[in-house]
Structure 1
Amino acid sequence: MVRKKLAMLGLALLMTASLTACGGGGNGGKNNASSAEPSGNAGASNSANNTAQEDKTPVTFTYFNANSQVPDIDSNKTEIGKKLEEQTGVNFKLQFPVGDVNTKIGTMIASGDYPDVLAPDTAIDKILDAKAFIPLNDLIEQYGPNIKRVYGPYFNQMKQADGNIYFLPFSAVVGDYLPAPTIGQGAFFIQRRVLKEFGYPKIKTLDEYFDLIKKYNDAHKSEGLTGFTSLTYDWRTMGIFNAPMHLAGYPNDGDVIVDMATHKANVYADDDYTKRWLKKLNEINNEGLYDKSSFVNNYDQYLAKVSSGKVLGFFDYEWEVDQAIQNIRKTGNDDLDYMPLPIVFDQNTKDQYLDPNSFVDNRGVGITTSAKDPVRIIKFFDNMLKEENQIMIQWGFKGETYEVNDQGRFYLTPEQIEARKDNATNQKVGFTYFNYSWPMYGTASTLSDGNAYAVNSQPEVAQASFTEGDRNILEKYGVRTFSELFAAPDDRPWYPAWSISIEQGSPAEIFQQKSKDVKLKYFPKLVLAKPDQFDAIWEEYLKEFGKLDVKGFESTMDELIAAKIAKVTGTGN
């Protein structure tokens, strides 16, 4: 990890120096002004002098953020937004989706009418294909010293095929990589009362996990408990699809697991890992432990089921189920809360649930061809990336939303911790609107003084935020934080493979959709079948899955992963 960071820092100088040279892409390295959309490049072409550098004339831009569904607002109606407006003169009309995001983005593309700034989330490839973002290379070179400081080590990864940078991602690690004290990602969750009843046993394997759940359920037959539940609604299929790779000792690379030595991709949906997982679910279903409604519940119904306190276990990503966990915590009954565990198939398997240091380059925010003044916008972005503003955006205001002790360490008082849970307070301060979807440090970053960039990654905040029940169960397992239960992640320069852009309409994208359809058709049959029917249905599933171009998809992923490694390590073009 350290060697990688040093290499990346060394690349920063090279990438910064080459930013302008590569900006022309296919036009022989010329200034990209000659090929960019006029409206998108007007700011760059007028920026030879810096007379507007300190321009604070009030201006309001529009920003559509597809990543969140919160009330629309003018940014200067928040405390953070007001402070940023005082520094720059810039205000944003922040707009968020109502209904289907792809429909909204499709309407923009059809009309050619875009907001000034756009974070299109999963529709980013559509925006790139529509050439709706302007190139940022020249703007960054002339007006982005802080953008270069933060994103410099990643410029090579941020470039599209034509050599241009069109958007700024949200995951650039600055300083030292700092994993969160809590999980945030995938785990097998189990109710704490199950562990409590049996003396807080240390369990590692899937068999041990389900044996404990069965033992507890058998002792509490009259309570109407659900042993294990899953979610397969819309795009939220990870609880069923992803578990096999984690159980086998791999992190979340999406549809594939990637060999550490060869870097070759393997689709695991048709291998023994997935068969072993589904056969276990089939087994617990026939023991009356599996929630049969898992395959028909929508997201709200799933959250309601977990919130009920009747579910003993599930596999999921904490960010997806956090709302339900918070609902349980509000009851004050710690026994109903959940413990995340790094469960694997076999005792000798090293878990890899925690995310390695990574740079997700297929999500971000860009300036559109409709932007009225790209220079003012890029300067606003650059100003946001000053460390003092990154502190304000994440931590708020010293003495109000956070404190600093005599050693210079940031912390929250109990009152400030509670305030962070209040939606109205978060909207008023601006945390709701500025914590994500802007040019920003990655959440695993550290500040120049050693404090964590992200509030929840600060050990002092984590310790103070833990309930008495949290501290008790951590003590029982001999750790200070929940993440200490999990193995440190191995360095994977391609990670995460799911973030590598796949061309829309390509055979690889078609494979992803068709394979999802086949899995959604057969996984319920496999899990809910009688035990003596499982193998026959599995063979039928393999025959159907085998009609897809598995090898072609793996070959495409091999090429994309190799290209990603080359970019990350600086060995590519």
Structure 2
Amino acid sequence: MKKRKLLSLVMAITLTVTSFVGCGKKSEEASSDTPILDGMDKTPITLTFFNCDLNEDWDFTDEVAKKITELTGVTLEITHPVAGDTQAIPLMIASGEYPDLIYAKGDTGKLIDAGAIIKLDDMIEEKGENLKALYGDQLDRLKASADDPSIYTVGTYGVSAEVYEPGGTLQIQHDVLKELGYPEINTIYDYEEAIKSYIEANPTTEDGQQRIGLSLMASDWRWLITTGNIASAALGIPDDGQFKVDDETGETTYKFTLPEIKEYFQWLNHMNDIGLLDPESFTQKEDTYKAKISSGRVVGLSDAAWDYSDAEKTLLSEGNAGSTYARLPVTVSEEYKDQSLKNYGFGGGWGIAISESCENKERAFEFLDWMASDEAQVLLNWGIEGEHYTVEDGKRVVKPEVQEQKNTDPDFSKKTGIGAYVYPFPQRGVGAVDSTGNSYTTTTIENVIANYNDAQKETLAGYGIDDFTEMFPSSEELGISKHGQVWQYTIPSDSDISIIQQKCDDYIQQAVTQAILGKPEDFDKAWDEIQATLKSYGVDSLNEQMTNLTKERLELWN
């Protein structure tokens, strides 16, 4: 290891230990004889919470956070990875110092094996009334594994997961569809023709900027989001991360070894060759990517909505709805079905854990249980009654000025706290309704339709449909996953799965990028070399081990 990297590692450990030791002392504020109010201890207390999915500082001072503290006495001191997502948990384990609450995603297994987090089964049974009500018959899906059927974590994704705003495989500006007379775009080749025709007729924007055909944010981990995941989605493969799963047999295959996935990457190579792929797709940084989208120059995207939604809000705030994006069910050929409306069921797996070193385990659990309550679910999703929403004829309604801010302000959640603490805490999910018949979330098909912008409404009218779900294969048609999703598996720390996959993933990003940017006549050779290299890295062993995990999950759940 180079000296600079070693120094960085030592500094990261020092920062991590210092941070957690300092935070841990704050948890001593509550004494054992504190008063209990309304059946819940509401004495002020600070709980430290490490969120491995957060990449920025987050102060627990917004309106919703203040209300949470008022109702529970809890203030969260939220920290995020110091040395990067892949090092944070191992560094934590090496130091032996932990925050009170930990969200570790795929590294949860390492915490379990290190004895760093506690089993929650007894607490859930004795005092987890809200958690039991929220999870219902899905509670068993929180179990760690067939070998260790204990519950260590709660939260992350909704028990209900209806999709009213499908993300699609590829996206294209509404203005393009309008000018082309709302054509049928079913395949990547239809999509290519639409972009090509539009740019030929409109090479520059109104302010003279050169239009970009298809832009990717593929210089960092988003390569998987905008390139790798799209390749399998275009083949109608459900979202199982880097794998394809046979839900009947459990056979699990590293998707980049599938012969059919080659066609999508070869199409990107062709798009690059004819000048329709942004030449900066594999080098640009996030701010450059979003600035291009915000300028209205980018005709097409292949991205997740959460990754470009802030740029769309900027376009809407400037009155440029036509440059926002229609999300399309595009596949390599019409033999495949877009999986955007796929019901994966509740995945269990990942969630928030209470550390063994937490000095207020009971309060920490009570807090997590309260976050699963109806009171909390409404607050987290809707905000504060009278301030953010009203109740009219028994129905919750977002105040118009709040909805406008939500539609156009990229910092809406950070300013208000609305939606900021839904993930990764326990959540009822989209489509779930409470005892009053109201949705727990603001995402209902009625609200989605009511908040379509003018360009979206024109596109719907152009295709003769009422909402965008009508463009996609239905969830009933696609069926429910029996194993959840592979990317939510807790990987055993004594296996070499993570090592092999990381090696393959790093190589795939580099090698496929080179193949896409290379000469079309060299693509076949490059692809053959990729397959040979994956084999040398142990991809067959990876497939075998992942298949075993899927079979165990099928047995545990079914």
Report the TM-score range of the alignment, normalised by the length of the smaller protein: 0.7 to 0.9
Counterpart residue number, 1:470: 456
In 1, the alpha carbon distance for the partners of 2:93 and 2:272 equals: 47
Q: 2:530 aligns with which of 541, 545, 554?
A: 541
1:222, distance to aligned residue in structure 2 (A): 5.4
Question: 2:132 corresponds to which letter in structure 1?
Answer: K
* 2:480 paired residue number: 491
Is the alpha carbon distance of 1:289 and 1:423 closer, same or farther for their aligned partners in structure 2, counting shifts above 3 Å? Answer: closer
State the match for 1:561 in structure 2: 550
Does the CA-based 8 Å contact 2:381-2:419 persist in structure 1?
A: no
Equivalent in the alignment of 1:41: none
- Tell me, what secondary structure is at the counterpart of 2:281? helix
Deviations, residues 156-190 of structure 1 (Å, cap 9, x unaligned): 222234332111122241xxx4523222x452001
Give the aligned residue type for 2:357. S
Structure 1 residue 71: Cα displacement: 4.2
Structure 1 unaligned spans of 5+: 1-45
Deviation at 1:444, TM superposition (A): 4.6
Match of 1:524 in 2: 513
Does residue 257 of structure 1 match 2:244? yes
- Conservation of the 8 A alpha-carbon contact between 2:169 and 2:330: yes
Q: Is the 8 A contact 1:187 1:318 kept in 2?
A: no
Residues 1:492 and 1:188: Cα distance change in structure 2 (over 3 Å)? same
Partner residue, 1:397: 384
Which ranges in structure 2 are unaligned for 5 or more consecutive residues? Answer: 1-31
1:445 and 1:72 map into 2 onto residues whose CA distance is 28
- Superposed displacement of residue 276, structure 1: 0.7
Aligned equivalents of 1:423, 1:205: Cα separation in 2:
32
Contact 1:154 1:172 in 2 (8 A): no
In structure 1, the residue matched to 2:117 is 133
Q: Tell me, what secondary structure is at the counterpart of 2:50? A: strand
What is the 5 A alignment of 1:139-154? 139-154=123-138
Cα deviation for residue 538 of structure 1 reads 2.2
**Are the structure 2 counterparts of residues 553 and 394 from structure 1 closer, same or farther at C-alpha, using a change threshold of 3 Å?**
same
Q: Kindly tell me: are residues 54 and 350 of structure 1, through their superposed partners in 2, closer, same or farther at Cα, counting changes over 3 Å?
A: closer
Inter-partner Cα distance in structure 2 for 1:222 and 1:271: 39
Q: For 1:104 and 1:196, locate their aligned partners in 2 and report how far apart those are by CA, in whole Å.
A: 48
1:93 shift after superposition: 3.1
Aligned to 1:191: 173
TM superposition score normalised by structure 2: 0.84
Distance 2:196 2:212 in 1: 10
Match of 2:54 in 1: 68
Q: 1:70-469 counterparts in 2 under 5 A?
A: 70-73=56-59, 75=60, 77-97=61-81, 100-160=84-144, 161-173=147-159, 177=160, 179-183=162-166, 185-221=167-203, 224-238=210-224, 239-406=226-393, 408-420=394-406, 422=409, 426-427=413-414, 429-431=416-418, 433-455=420-442, 457-469=443-455
- Measure, in 2, the Cα distance between the counterparts of 1:71 and 1:230: 27
Change beyond 3 A, Cα 1:98–1:567: same
Contact 1:170 1:442 in 2 (8 A): no
Contact 2:430-2:444 within 8 A present in 1 as well? no
Check whether the contact 2:350–2:490 (CA below 8 A) recurs between aligned residues.
no
CA RMSD of aligned residues (A): 2.8
Whether the aligned pair in 2 keeps the contact of 1:247 and 1:345 (CA below 8 Å) is: yes
Q: Deviations over 1:47-90 (max 9, x none)?
A: 9xx999544333333223333345443x5x44434444444433
Offset of residue 425 of structure 1: 6.3
- SS of the equivalent of 2:213 reads coil
1:416 Cα offset (Å):
1.9
Aligned residues: 515
Q: CA deviation at 1:493?
A: 1.3
Query: Could you tell me how far apart the structure 2 residues matched to 1:342 and 1:103 are?
Result: 37
Q: Equivalent pairs: percent with the same residue?
A: 31
Structure 1 pair 517/84, CA: closer, same or farther in 2 (3 Å)? closer
For 1:259 and 1:122, locate their aligned partners in 2 and report how far apart those are by CA, in whole Å.
22
Partner Cα separation in structure 1 for residue 176 and residue 247 of structure 2: 36
SS at match of 1:546: helix
- The one-letter amino acid of 1:354's match is L
TM-score of the two chains, using structure 1 as the length reference: 0.82
1:430-476: per-residue Cα shift (whole Å, max 9, x none)? 32642323233234533233332221x22332233221222121221
> Relative to structure 1, is the Cα distance of residues 212 and 567 closer, same or farther in structure 2, using a 3 angstrom cutoff?
same
Task: Letter of the 1:552 partner, please give it.
Answer: S
Secondary structure of the residue aligned to 2:48 is strand
State the alpha-carbon separation in 1 of the partners of residues 484 and 419 from structure 2: 28
Secondary structure at 1:227 match in 2:
strand
CA contact (8 A) 1:150 1:172 kept: no
Change in Cα spacing, 1:54 to 1:446, as seen in structure 2 (3 Å) is closer
State the secondary structure of the residue aligned to 1:441: strand
Alpha-carbon contact 1:411-1:460 (below 8 Å) kept? no
Equivalent position of 1:4 in the other structure: none
Deviation for aligned residue 1:339: 0.8
Q: 1:258 to 1:55 in 2, by over 3 A?
A: closer
Q: 1:526 to 1:57 in 2, by over 3 A?
A: closer
1:251 aligned partner, one-letter code: P
Going from structure 1 to structure 2, the CA distance change for 1:286 and 1:79 (only over 3 Å counts) comes to closer
The CA distance in 1 between the partners of 2:245 and 2:324, in whole Å, is 34
Equivalent-residue separation in structure 2 for 1:147 and 1:467 (angstroms): 37
* Post-superposition CA distance 1:540-570 (Å, at most 9, x none): 222223323232222222221122222222x
Moved more, 443-452 or 552-561: 443-452
Q: Structure 1 288/388 Cα, relative in aligned 2: closer, same or farther at 3 Å?
A: same
Residue 38 of structure 1 corresponds to none
2:502 alignment counterpart:
513
Give CA-to-partner distance per residue, 1:466-505, whole Å, 9 cap, x none.
2122212122122222233221232111121221222347
After TM superposition, the structure 1 stretch with the greater mean CA deviation from structure 2, 555-564 or 446-455, is 446-455
Q: 1:292 to 1:147 in 2, by over 3 A?
A: same
The answer to which of 332-341 and 538-547 deviates more is 538-547
Q: Where does residue 18 of structure 1 map in the other structure?
A: none
| Distance change >3 Å, CA 468–CA 241, structure 1 → 2 | same
Kindly state the Cα deviation for residue 342 of structure 1 after the two structures are TM-superposed. 0.5
- For the 8 Å contact 1:190–1:313, the answer to whether it is kept is yes
Distance 1:244 1:328 in 2: 28
Q: Residues 129 and 325 (structure 1 numbering): CA distance in 2 closer, same or farther, change over 3 Å? A: farther
Distance 1:427 1:521, change over 3 A: closer
